[in-house]
């Protein structure tokens, strides 16, 4: 067993390690074979030389991240512990400020795949962004749309979603059509409110500079000089997806986001997102970015919830496959006996 000491310089350990050392405990959880203790500005680590080398490399990335962003979360630590965690510290185009939000908050791509999404949108006029909840697909796309509008690269932003009920029935709610449909579109309003002052946002919506509408309202239109985002695209049918994609006008940007694990279409109806990804995979000029659990930037529990659901769904698929195989074998036997 060997021992090393690491001095933490120019950072308050309390800010680095979180309330009640919660972040310090999270860092330690990745190195169960090491004994790691903290006293003031000094860490003491005991264990195998090779494992300590790995710890020092990862801890250096954490320090660099804190110096760069002046913050640290469990999700940041998870991403930095990945094999390619050093990519999060790079100063490529994806790490630039996408837009200044309300109160001067800098909105940036915060994970490796979010940076890839920024790059893909910069390089292509049509991009598919696919991944689980909380990976920042829509938020990143909205930030780029607001940036393009402010830079006068486009004249308007169009945000749309298919109005598919996820088990809830809104048909009998009071109000006009807009009031009935607004609950479906609320996540898009939420993202915009982070980036544009409320009064200005209201004016932009009133004058049609920003349009938020259900997918059905896109039929028959040509969307020109616009940054267009189709959110929750997994809930489109193949015909709806074709209709939407063919609305693309000159000098337009189209971003299509979706999560194939949350399809709310009727049973056995194929998702238009899955259909489009298959049909368009060889078409030049269309980018596709797939985000995963390591890109989740919501509460750390969200990542664990996704992992738990993925594990259960994999087990259920395996059981179905085993049942189908047994049924196939038994059917073969009954045919042979006849």
End-to-end CA distance of the chain, in Å?
Answer: 70
Per-residue pLDDT averaged across 200-211, rounded? 92
Where does the pLDDT of residue 1 fall: very low under 50, low under 70, confident under 90, or very high at 90 and above? confident
Q: Which fold has domain 2-87?
A: Ribosomal Protein S8; Chain: A, domain 1 (3.30.1370)
Per-residue pLDDT averaged across 147-166, rounded? 85
Asked whether the predicted pLDDT for residue 260 surpasses 80, the reply is: yes
Burial zone of 80 (CB within 10 Å; 0-12 exposed, 13-18 middle, 19+ buried): buried
115: nearest Cα among 297, 251, 280: 297
Per-residue pLDDT averaged across 95-114, rounded? 78
Asked whether the predicted pLDDT for residue 169 surpasses 50, the reply is: no
Helix (H, G, I), strand (E, B) or coil at 128: strand
Measured CA to CA, the distance from residue 23 to residue 166 in angstroms comes to 36
Per-residue pLDDT averaged across 22-51, rounded? 90
Per-residue pLDDT averaged across 274-303, rounded? 84
Confidence (pLDDT) at 166: 42
Q: What tokens appear for 89 in the block?
A: 């510290």
13: nearest Cα among 53, 31, 40: 40
Q: Percentage of residues in the chain with pLDDT exceeding 90?
A: 34
Q: What are the φ and ψ backbone dihedral angles of 245, each rounded to 5 degrees? A: -60, -30
Where does the pLDDT of residue 85 fall: very low under 50, low under 70, confident under 90, or very high at 90 and above? low
Query: Is CATH 3.50.50.60 correct for 94-298?
Result: no
Q: Percentage of residues in the chain with pLDDT exceeding 70?
A: 85
Confidence (pLDDT) at 93: 41
Asked whether the predicted pLDDT for residue 171 surpasses 60, the reply is: no
Confidence (pLDDT) at 74: 79
pTM, 2 dp: 0.64
Measured CA to CA, the distance from residue 164 to residue 170 in angstroms comes to 10
Q: Are strands 42-47 and 2-7 parallel, antiparallel or unpaired?
A: antiparallel
Collect all residues with Cβ–Cβ distance below 8 Å to 14 and sequence separation of at least 6.
none
Asked whether the predicted pLDDT for residue 168 surpasses 50, the reply is: no
Confidence (pLDDT) at 279: 94
Identify which has the larger pLDDT, 256 or 323: 256
Asked whether the predicted pLDDT for residue 172 surpasses 60, the reply is: no
Any idea which residue has 């809930």 for tokens?
Answer: 235
Q: What tokens appear for 41 in the block?
A: 């500005």
Identify which has the larger pLDDT, 103 or 223: 223
- The conformation of residue 94, written as its DSSP 8-state character, comes to G
Per-residue pLDDT averaged across 73-96, rounded? 62
Per-residue pLDDT averaged across 290-302, rounded? 75
Per-residue pLDDT averaged across 208-220, rounded? 89
pLDDT in tens, 314-329: 888 888 888 888 877 7
Per-residue pLDDT averaged across 49-65, rounded? 89
For residue 15, what are the CA distances in angstroms to 19, 114, 226? 8, 26, 43
Measured CA to CA, the distance from residue 143 to residue 101 in angstroms comes to 9
Burial zone of 151 (CB within 10 Å; 0-12 exposed, 13-18 middle, 19+ buried): exposed
Domain boundaries, the chain: 2-87, 94-298, 309-338
Per-residue pLDDT averaged across 151-165, rounded? 86
Confidence (pLDDT) at 299: 64
CA 85 to mean position of chain CA atoms: 17
pLDDT in tens, 108-132: 887 888 889 999 999 999 999 999 8
Burial zone of 30 (CB within 10 Å; 0-12 exposed, 13-18 middle, 19+ buried): middle
Helices then strands, each counted (H, E), the chain: 11, 11
Asked whether the predicted pLDDT for residue 89 surpasses 60, the reply is: no
- Is-contact 303 75, C-beta < 8 A? yes
């Amino acid at each position: 067993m060997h021992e090393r000491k690491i001095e933490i310089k120019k950072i308050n350990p309390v800010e680095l390690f979180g309330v009640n050392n919660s972040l310090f405990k999270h860092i330690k959880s990745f190195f169960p074979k090491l004994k790691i203790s903290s006293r003031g500005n000094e860490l003491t680590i005991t264990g195998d030389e090779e494992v300590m080398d790995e710890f020092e490399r990862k801890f250096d990335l954490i320090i660099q991240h804190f110096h760069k962003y002046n913050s640290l979360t469990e999700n940041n630590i998870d991403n930095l512990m990945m094999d390619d965690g050093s990519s999060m510290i790079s100063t490529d185009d994806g790490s630039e400020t996408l837009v200044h939000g309300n109160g001067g908050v800098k909105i940036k791509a915060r994970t490796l795949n979010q940076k890839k999404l920024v790059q893909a949108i910069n390089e292509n006029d049509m991009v598919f962004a696919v991944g689980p909840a909380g990976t920042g697909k829509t938020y990143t796309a909205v930030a780029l749309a607001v940036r393009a509008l402010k830079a006068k690269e486009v004249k308007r932003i169009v945000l749309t979603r298919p109005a598919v009920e996820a088990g809830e029935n809104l048909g009998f709610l009071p109000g006009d059509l807009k009031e009935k449909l607004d609950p479906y579109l609320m996540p898009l309003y939420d993202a915009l409110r982070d980036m544009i002052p409320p009064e200005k946002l209201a004016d932009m919506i009133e004058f049609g500079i920003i349009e938020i509408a259900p997918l059905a309202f896109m039929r028959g239109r040509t969307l020109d000089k616009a940054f267009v985002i189709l959110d929750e695209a997994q809930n489109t049918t193949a015909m709806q997806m074709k209709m939407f994609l063919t609305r693309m006008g000159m000098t337009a940007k189209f971003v299509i986001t979706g999560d194939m694990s949350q399809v709310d279409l009727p049973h056995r109806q194929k998702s238009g997102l899955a259909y489009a990804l298959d049909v368009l995979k060889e078409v030049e000029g269309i980018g596709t970015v797939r985000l995963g659990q390591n890109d989740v930037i919501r509460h750390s529990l969200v990542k664990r919830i996704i992992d738990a659901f993925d594990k259960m769904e994999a087990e259920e698929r395996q059981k179905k496959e085993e049942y189908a195989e047994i049924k196939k074998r038994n059917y073969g036997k009954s045919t042979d006996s006849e």
